[in-house]
Amino acid sequence: MDTHWLSAAEIARLVATGKASAAAMVEAALARITEHDPILNSFTAVLADRARKRAQAVDIAQAKGRSIGPLAGVPFAVKNLFDITGIATLAGSKINRSCPPSIRDAVLIERLEAAGAVLVGALNMGEYAYDFTGENVHDGPSRNPHDVNRMTGGSSGGSGAAVAGGLVPVALGSDTNGSIRVPSSLCGIFGLKPTYGRLPRSRTFPFVASLDHVGPFARTARDLALVYDAMQGHDPEDGACADRPVEPTLPLLERGVEGLRIAVADGYFRKGAFPEARVAIDRVAAALHVNRDIEIPEAHRARAAAYVITATEGAGLHLGRLRSSASDFDPAVRDRLIAGAMVPATLVNKAQKFRRWYRERVLDLFTELDVILAPATPCTAPLIGQQTFLLDGVDLPVRANLGLYTQPISFIGLPVVAVPVALDPLPIAVQIITAPWGEDVALRVAHALETTGVAVAPRPAI
């Protein structure tokens, strides 16, 4: 059986019905990792022993007729900023390699394993998540399965490569300014950045507390919903986690898009877009019969405020390490963090005030809209090592600007599903943006686009 392009839902169904064992599914994933990860460089730790034990436990439970959960036997991996019992949480850094091993898994790993999934490893990422490229000076770049000379996008670059390359059907990542949506776009897979506070970040290495989100990657919208539903629920260990009831999205997935009020973000979100980004958004808009454009007010200032909050909160987090171990940082990260340490608090306070103002203006839009469409990235995957690209006639750094269209959205914590459009030769994604707590709507739209063939995670040639 060719298992490596099976969805999580298909694997769980095979295991639940006894047509395949969890052990076989995990062995297939481990074999695929062994075969392809030397090139893709998506894993920083492969937990074969742990995974085999866990799979065996699932198979024993299944044989005894016990409940094995909706994700039984589904292999998954996590960005290496999630705590994993027994290993240090690297967060893409050299410095954290000297940290003691974690004594407990991140809460989202616990929840996925409670649903029957099997953790197989930790994934490469940009250092301390301050990255949009997927490059890492310590571990090497994660490589795009559609062209291994190209970026995966970051900072959850390993997550993008592992799912797009068929090594695992599901991965977890984090998204402060776009770190789920950018790799989803460049690698051509589905990604969900939930509402700020929806999924607990407990026992993950932080970056910018005001903006940090965690969420899943998958190759289908259904898998996103399946995994997201298994991870929902309040956790008091994360102070920003909302105390809301679980709101399952999977039962709503087939409701379609009939009656949804949808518009395309104009202005800022068109400016600078490469032709491929425009083609993708036009294709999605046409499939949804959308002929309305809308301006998200002051999006450029929102992006700027997110930029400053990120630099300063990130600097605050790392100030001690900048004092003691500055030479051990990735220089590109270190120099941005040092600069962030020197920004006056007055500007940060103004950025947070602007955030509140902007949030209210954008929420006003959702009184007459259900969904806003916007590009996820301005272009398809740049070459690894590429420093600049031409945006709206201006040569700008790739590293800081791949998240141009994601930052104004995560700035106010709106839920987004990134849906891949399989352009030739490289895919690119479109953001399906909804009002807070509207993950079900975004997933419905993503599923509808997938059903019509407009959104699809293309299978790479590897």
Return the number of the residue (13 or 321) whose C-beta is nearest other proteins: 321
**Residue tagged active-site, from 7, 21, 42, 79:** 79
Sheet bearing 213-218, strands edge to edge: 43-46, 118-123, 75-79, 170-175, 213-218, 190-193, 416-421, 428-434, 371-375, 262-265, 293-294
Please give the single-letter amino acid code of residue 12. A
Alpha carbons 140 and 163: distance in angstroms, whole number:
18
Closest distance of CB 224 from other proteins, Å: 25
Determine whether 179 is an active site residue: yes
Tell me whether residue 322 or residue 365 sits nearer to other proteins (CB atom).
322
The radius of gyration of the chain from alpha carbons, rounded to an integer in Å, stands at 20
| Smallest separation (angstroms) from other proteins to the CB of 384 | 20
Q: Residue 391: how many CA atoms within 13 Å on its side-chain side?
A: 25
- Footprint of other proteins on this chain (CB under 8 A)? 197, 209-210, 239-240, 298, 300-301, 303-305, 307-308, 311, 319, 322-323, 326-327, 331, 334-336, 338-344, 347, 349-357, 359, 388, 394-397, 400, 412
- Nearer Cβ to other proteins (87/343): 343
Exactly one of 179, 185, 202, 410 is catalytic; name it: 179
Shortest gap between Cβ of 349 and other proteins (angstroms)?
Answer: 6
List all residues 6 or more positions away from 153 whose beta carbon is below 8 Å from its beta carbon.
132, 133, 134, 160, 182, 183, 184, 185, 186, 187, 377, 381, 402
For other proteins, the closer of residues 99 and 322 by Cβ is 322
**Shortest distance (Å) from residue 377 CB to other proteins:** 18
Q: Which is nearer to other proteins, 148 or 333 (CB)?
A: 333
- Residue among 18 and 331 whose Cβ is closer to other proteins: 331
Nearer to other proteins among residue 259 and residue 344 (C-beta): 344
CA separation, residue 418 to residues 235, 283, 333 (Å): 26, 14, 26
79 is catalytic: yes
Catalytic residue check, 271: no
Supply the minimum distance, in Å, between the C-beta of residue 405 and other proteins: 16
Closest distance of CB 86 from other proteins, Å: 32
How far is the C-alpha of 449 from the C-alpha of 244, rounded, in Å?
Answer: 29
Q: What's the min distance (Å) between Cβ of 418 and other proteins?
A: 24
CB 264 within 8 A of CB 369: no
Q: Report the first-to-last Cα separation within the chain, whole angstroms.
A: 17
C-alpha span between 444 and 439 (Å, rounded): 8
Nearer to other proteins, 391 or 448 (CB): 391
Least Cβ distance, residue 364 to other proteins (angstroms)? 16
On whether the CB atoms of residues 419 and 284 are closer than 8 A, the answer is: yes
The answer to whether 77 touches 120, Cβ cutoff 8 Å, is yes
Q: Which of 12, 332 has the CB closer to other proteins?
A: 332
Name the catalytic one among 21, 142, 155, 184.
155
Which residues, listed in sequence order, are joined to residue 76 by a DSSP beta bridge?
119, 170
Q: Torsion angle of alpha carbons 233, 238, 241, 247, nearest 10°?
A: -10
Nearest-approach distance from CB 240 to other proteins, in angstroms: 5
User: Which amino acids are annotated catalytic?
Assistant: 79, 155, 179
